[in-house]
Amino acid sequence: MAQGIKPPRKQGPLIYFIPLGEEAKEKCFALATLCRRHHLSAEIELSSKKVQTGLQNASKVNSAYCAIIGSDELSSNQISVKHLETRQSVDLSLDHLISYLQGTKP
């Protein structure tokens, strides 16, 4: 490999959901299923209860976006989607998640 040239990044899931609690986990399953029906790859953090570990796992699998869903997000029907490479976040309605991801799909 030539110096200074990085190999192409292995593509992971488009979005990685991190649920905070059982109710949030159910919502994450529903959102991941909806994403997949629209041909958008999605994974859910199931092994950790810590947000930081979930974010690290999202980075390890090369996810483009991450969304943390807890009781506040469920009650407000809002979600914050974070682009893991640029670290920029956007807040949007859960109803607009699919259209947002479709607009950003590589």
Q: What is the pLDDT of residue 103?
A: 87
Q: Which domains does the chain have, with CATH numbers?
A: 15-100 (3.40.50.800)
How far is the C-alpha of 55 from the C-alpha of 48, rounded, in Å?
A: 10
Q: Compare 47 and 83 and report the one with higher pLDDT.
A: 83
Cβ neighbors of 20 (< 8 A, separation 6 or more) are 51, 68, 69, 70, 71
pLDDT band for position 9 (50/70/90)?
low
The fraction of the chain above a pLDDT of 70, given in percent, is: 89
